[in-house]
């Protein structure tokens, strides 16, 4: 950017919390025309909220395909003891270089797939909330959300190979999932009981696993409770290399039972 003649301010972000957002807002106030979030979910979420608060455009530049927040209008920011999903604005552009994303560890790509298969159960929870409590529901957002999940299910063998083609498919699915949330105006198309399971582990586990890993396990359990095809979800995750039960990422599953 500097070689291209831009003046650049930057901040290295380690946590997605309100203190970090405040630090970034102070840095950019009155100085910048747009903000780039470069990195994983933490950097992107902080840049997303800081730019929204300052009324500046935001560009998402993911370096890993680990979750579906890369193109969504929501930022997951820790406030107190638990993360809070805050409505902001979707990025005006997404620069996802699959050559760079491919260099990230396969575990991050697998976690992105765990976050995507969670859509299967999230939309079931959403439909249930609509039928029981009259919550606003979008069939279009649901269809797009399910399409994102289906991409993972149908390409598990390809994704396992960690090629640039497989990375491109996962990135497209993550962006579609983000768009579904934008259409719905909430995280409902991509976040249900399986995400609550993940948030609980974030608080109870000594060292939580990756967000998408936890959501994938939560999706297996929630699909079982819904009477869905939980075995197919489990096998797809297993093929890709994503955990399918607590023992895959915890030596002791006491926190899971709690």
At residue 80, the pLDDT reads 59
CATH code (residue 90): 3.40.50.1970
| Furthest-apart CA atoms within the chain: distance in Å | 57
Q: Find, among 204, 206, 238, the residue nearest to 219 by Cα.
A: 238
CATH number assigned to the domain comprising residue 160 = 1.20.1090.10
Checking if the pLDDT of 164 tops 70, the result is yes
Q: What is the pTM of this model?
A: 0.90
Q: Is 7 contained in some domain?
A: no
Domain that holds residue 70: 18-99
- The pLDDT tens digits of the residues spanning 165-207 come to 999 999 999 999 999 999 999 999 999 999 999 988 888 877 7
List the single range of 53-62, 75-84, 139-148 with lowest mean pLDDT. Answer: 75-84
Q: What is the pLDDT of residue 247?
A: 76
Question: pLDDT tier at 156 (50, 70, 90 boundaries)?
Answer: very high
- Quick one: 148 and 243 in the same domain? yes
Last residue of a domain, one of 42, 65, 99: 99
Q: With contact defined as beta carbons under 8 Å apart, do 184 and 138 qualify?
A: yes
Classify strands 82-87 and 35-39 as parallel, antiparallel or unpaired: unpaired
């Amino acid at each position: 950017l500097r070689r291209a003649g831009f003046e650049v301010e930057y901040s290295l972000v380690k946590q997605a919390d309100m203190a970090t957002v405040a630090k970034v807002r102070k840095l950019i106030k009155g100085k910048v025309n747009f903000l780039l979030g470069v990195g994983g979910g933490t950097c992107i979420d902080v840049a997303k909220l800081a730019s929204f608060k300052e009324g500046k455009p935001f560009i998402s530049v993911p370096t890993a395909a680990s979750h579906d927040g890369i193109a969504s209008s929501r930022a997951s920011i820790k406030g107190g003891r638990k993360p809070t999903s805050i409505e902001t604005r979707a990025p005006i552009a997404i620069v996802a270089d699959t050559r760079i994303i491919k260099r990230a560890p396969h575990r991050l790509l697998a976690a992105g797939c765990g976050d995507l298969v969670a859509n299967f159960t999230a939309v079931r929870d959403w439909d249930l909330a609509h039928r029981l409590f009259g919550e606003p529901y979008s069939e279009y957002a649901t269809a797009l959300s399910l399409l994102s999940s289906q991409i993972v299910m149908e390409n598990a063998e390809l994704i396992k190979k960690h090629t640039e083609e497989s990375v491109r498919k996962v990135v497209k699915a993550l962006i579609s999932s983000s768009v579904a949330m934008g259409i719905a105006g909430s995280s409902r198309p991509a976040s249900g009981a399986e995400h609550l399971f993940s948030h609980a582990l974030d608080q109870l586990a000594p060292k939580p696993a990756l967000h998408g890993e936890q959501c994938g396990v939560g999706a297996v359990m929630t699909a079982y409770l819904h009477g869905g095809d939980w075995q197919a979800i489990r096998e797809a995750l297993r093929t890709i290399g994503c955990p399918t039960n607590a023992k895959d990422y915890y030596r002791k599953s006491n926190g899971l039972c709690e």
